[in-house]
Amino acid sequence: MKVLAIVKTELTRTFRWRANIFFLLIMPMGLILLLGVAFGNSATRIGVVEKEKGQLASQLVATLGNQPGLDTKSYDNLGSLERAVERGYVSAGLVLGSNYDQRLQAGKAVTIRYFARPDSTAPQIRVALESSVAAQGSALVAARIVHSEQGRSFKSALRRVNAVKATAPVGVSLLAAGGGKYPTGGGQFQQSASTQLLLFAFLSALNGAVWLIETRRLGVARRMLSTPSSSREIMLGIVLGRWVITLLQAAMIVFFSWLIFSVHWGDPFGTGAIILVFSLVAVGAGVLIGSLCSSAQQAGPIAMIVGLVFAAIGGSMEPLQYFPATMRKIAHITPHAWANDAFGTLLSNGGNLANVWLDVVVLGAYAAVLLTLATWRLRRVLTT
Amino acid sequence: MNREQNSSVLHCEGLRKRFGEIEAVRGVSFEIAPGESYGLLGPNGAGKTTTISIVAGLLEADAGEVTVAGNRLTTKSVAAKAAIGFVPQDLAIYPDLTARENLSFFVKLYGLRGKANRARVKEVLEIIGLSERADDQAKKYSGGMKRRLNIGIGLLHSPKLLILDEPTVGVDPQSRNAILESVEQLSGQGMAVLYTTHYMEEAERLCDRVGIIDRGELKAEGTREELVALLGEHDKVHLTGSGHLEAAAKACAEIDAVEAASVGQESIELLVEGASAILPEILTTASSAGVTVHSVEMEEPNLEAVFLHLTGRALRD
């Protein structure tokens, strides 16, 4: 009852300050959008000029467009395609000549013009293009054999080869590392949503240090101790209050990122466990800072610096997979890295709670240590 | 526990508290009976707030014992704290909550629930005169209203002992008077009151008994009359003037009949035995020491004079 009274008062005070709505919800959603655009795995676009809309040319373009992570966009002429590549509207350009179909059907070689922006996607697009050309080339060779040996027309032979090829027994399907279904929802915002959830949940909980110092400065915390309430009830109320606020923020980010950006949060038990335990870590850190610092002016910047540095090291500003191997190891001194690993397993690889148990245990250990230190220190500050 | 302790609401015995090199409270003992108002009178830094913090269960004493309503008090004793209403010197309210929300929050910490909780909040709002502004945020209140809310929180559970730590500091005269009237009423209703102040008038007006505290020691205690009687035939002489006041006070203190002398702002205060007879000598001494005396007042002995008598310095020093 007394604990709930403290929790209710913490909630009332937090949401009475309207600026908190901005920091708790609107800012994280804005950054999810921003980082989703910057680091999201959106499809790479290739501009195509088909000088003659022949069947074989269209087939090649369609094969290329069906490659995972690739999209094609048609351009009328070479000049507009070159400008689009230069300005980065598309990553590469492909020009199929006016006699593409005619020369291939006649068994002659054709040259495809390909140009790309000087970035890391160019070699990948080239590989995709070469595999599409190779696929079409093998079908053409087979059709030519059928044409010459069975006396069918080349077009008929090619149709026959394509029909057989469609039922070919060898196929490739993309699965998650654990063998589950590879998730396709959420697209480019999938990763930014989880990283920003961690960044902001941690920052908000650390900001609780300022609220705690304010409660101490106002003398309310000390006054609570003069009531017939045990210091354990008061500590529990303070910690629980900050935890509920952090969880509410996380729940809002999960809900609105699903609603607005179609982010799929994976296994609810796994995701729930990570959010619950990571929030406890954050609250423990916040209460510890709040009990170590003597003024809000001191605690505010410290909370901000700790929150941002941990987020940067722990992969909440730039995904961990972009870090060098050594840096990835160092990153795991932060709880963010463990939580980001867990979200990677849950959201990108279709994992479940059983796949992230180690991350949950490590985060639980962080929480236990920080909360023990924080409540010990807070009690000392309030009663001496 | 003896019979005396059983009949008192608060019993303190040999309280001691040290902060590093400074011993803030040195063997303080006193007790308060039900319905009695007890004032701790002393200048800033005398040890009043430290004593109050120990008595409110906020600070652990290095030595000594506190019993409240028959229960031994420590920082962890919930039962003893249930009998105490504590009103700290500084405002201890949430400014972003309304008076009703502040009271509702603390009433739950005092253990009242449901209808009793709401009814008591309403009653206290009436007592402190904030019913009409109950749903305004406390930050919009005047200083006096905030002070009343601060006191109201201490009354929520109808405590047997109300502890008020300098509740009128920084309050305008009108609000101060309202606070003093409230304390008088509460005391009249049977609540024991422990009141700290460095204002002599407040102690004289409110308290049945006064303990004079200085440098962590309780120098004397008793009713106003009992304390004044300690002065014997002494009178208080108040000289205003200009010049070398320090030197004059020192010179006056050497006169046999002068018990104590202290320097105030453009004034000297003397505690004198048989003041009428010795007054010419005092004026001559002051004048010889380089002071131009503008006025002389002889006052009936009061608690300030008692403090001067007991400590050798004025209450405001």
Q: Both tokens of residue A262?
A: 């179609």
**B308: in domain:** no
Residue A228 — φ and ψ, nearest 5°? -75, 55
Could you tell me if B16 and B157 lie in one domain? yes
Could you tell me if B116 and B237 lie in one domain? no
Tell me the shortest Cα–Cα distance from A375 to chain B, in angstroms.
16
pLDDT above 80: residue B90: yes
* The pLDDT of residue A21: 75
pLDDT above 70: residue A35: no
pLDDT above 90: residue B103: yes
**B317: in domain:** no
* The pLDDT of residue A156: 86
Q: How many CB atoms lie within 10 A of CB B264?
A: 15
Q: Both tokens of residue B270?
A: 């003397």
Could you tell me if B191 and B278 lie in one domain? no
Most confident of A170-174, A253-257, B54-58: B54-58
**B306: in domain:** no
Could you tell me if B220 and B237 lie in one domain? no
Could you tell me if B103 and B189 lie in one domain? yes
Could you tell me if B155 and B201 lie in one domain? yes
Domain residues for the domain of B275 are 233-300
A&B contacts, CB < 8 Å: 76
CA-wise closest residue to A246 among A108, A339, A180, A313 = A339
Tell me the shortest Cα–Cα distance from A255 to chain B, in angstroms.
29
* The pLDDT of residue B233: 66
CATH number for the domain that contains residue B67: 3.40.50.300
Could you tell me if B41 and B151 lie in one domain? yes
Cβ distance of B58 and A383 shorter than 8 Å: yes
Q: Are strands B258-264 and B267-273 parallel, antiparallel or unpaired?
A: antiparallel
pLDDT digits (tens, 9 = 90+) for B210-235: 998 888 888 888 888 888 777 776 77
Cβ distance of B106 and A227 shorter than 8 Å: yes
Q: Is A16 on the interface with B (CB under 8 A)?
A: yes
Q: Is B156 on the interface with A (CB under 8 A)?
A: no
Could you tell me if B165 and B283 lie in one domain? no
Strand order in the sheet with B161-165: B84-87, B161-165, B192-197, B37-41, B209-214, B217-222
**B102: in domain:** yes
Which residues in chain B touch residue A220, judged by CB atoms under 8 angstroms apart? 92-94
Q: Both tokens of residue B305?
A: 């004079």
Which residues in chain A touch residue B92, judged by CB atoms under 8 angstroms apart? 218-220, 222-223
Tell me the shortest Cα–Cα distance from A228 to chain B, in angstroms.
4
**B197: in domain:** yes
Q: Is A19 on the interface with B (CB under 8 A)?
A: no
Per-residue pLDDT, averaged over A122-142, amounts to 85
Which residues in chain B touch residue A16, judged by CB atoms under 8 angstroms apart? 96-97
Could you tell me if B220 and B133 lie in one domain? yes
What distance, in Å, lies between the first and last C-alpha atoms of chain A? Answer: 26
Number of structural domains in chain B: 2
ipTM value, please give it. 0.77
CATH number for the domain that contains residue B255: 3.30.70.100
Q: Which of B207, B225, B243 is where one domain is finished?
A: B225
Extract the runs of DSSP E, i.e. beta strands, from chain B: 10-19, 22-32, 37-41, 63-68, 71-72, 84-87, 161-165, 192-197, 209-214, 217-222, 234-243, 258-264, 267-273, 291-299
Tell me the shortest Cα–Cα distance from B5 to chain A, in angstroms.
22
**B314: in domain:** no
Q: Is B106 on the interface with A (CB under 8 A)?
A: yes
Q: Is B127 on the interface with A (CB under 8 A)?
A: no
Across A131-158, b (16+ Cβ under 10 Å) vs e yields: ebbeebeebbebbbebbeeeeeebeebb
Q: Is A111 on the interface with B (CB under 8 A)?
A: no
* The pLDDT of residue A285: 92
Cβ distance of B76 and A230 shorter than 8 Å: yes
Q: Which of B174, B203, B225 is where one domain is finished?
A: B225
Residue ranges and CATH numbers for the domains of chain A are 2-39+187-383 (no CATH), 44-166 (3.40.1710.10)
CA-wise closest residue to A219 among B95, B88, B82, B55 = B88
**B148: in domain:** yes
CA A100, CA A81: separation in Å to the nearest integer? Answer: 19
Could you tell me if B147 and B213 lie in one domain? yes
CA B238, CA A37: separation in Å to the nearest integer? Answer: 82
**B166: in domain:** yes
Which residues in chain B touch residue A12, judged by CB atoms under 8 angstroms apart? 97, 101
Q: Mutation target for B interface from A220, A225, A227: give the one with most B CBs within 10 A.
A: A227
Could you tell me if B117 and B135 lie in one domain? yes
* Residues in Cβ contact with A374 at an 8 Å cutoff, skipping those fewer than 6 apart: A239, A284, A285, A286, A287, A288, A290, A291
Rounded to the nearest 10 degrees, how much is the dihedral formed by the CA atoms of A362, A367, A372, A377? 130
Cβ distance of B57 and A226 shorter than 8 Å: yes
Q: Check if the beta carbon of residue B191 is closer than 8 Å to that of residue B44.
A: no
Nearest by CB to residue A1, choosing from B60, B81, B113, is B113
pLDDT above 70: residue B209: yes
Which residues, numbered 51 to 80 in chain A, qualify as contacts with chain B under a Cβ-Cβ cut-off of 8 Å?
none
Higher pLDDT: A340 or A351? It is: A340
Q: Check if the beta carbon of residue B100 is closer than 8 Å to that of residue B149.
A: no
Percentage of chain A exceeding pLDDT 70: 92
* The pLDDT of residue A193: 81
Which residues in chain B touch residue A224, judged by CB atoms under 8 angstroms apart? 109
pLDDT digits (tens, 9 = 90+) for A164-203: 877 766 666 666 555 555 555 456 677 778 888 898 889 8
Q: What is the DSSP string of B194-208?
A: EEEES-HHHHHHH-S
Q: Which of B79-93, B152-166, B300-314 has the lowest mean pLDDT?
A: B300-314
pTM for this prediction? 0.71
Which residues in chain B touch residue A227, judged by CB atoms under 8 angstroms apart? 81, 106, 109-110
Nearest by CB to residue B105, choosing from A5, A228, A384, is A5
Q: What are the CA-CA distances from residue B10 to residues B6, B134, B193 (Å)?
A: 9, 33, 10
Which residue carries 């106003």 as its tokens?
B224
pLDDT above 90: residue B267: no
Q: Is A9 on the interface with B (CB under 8 A)?
A: yes
Q: Mutation target for B interface from A220, A224, A238, A382: give the one with most B CBs within 10 A.
A: A220
Could you tell me if B39 and B158 lie in one domain? yes
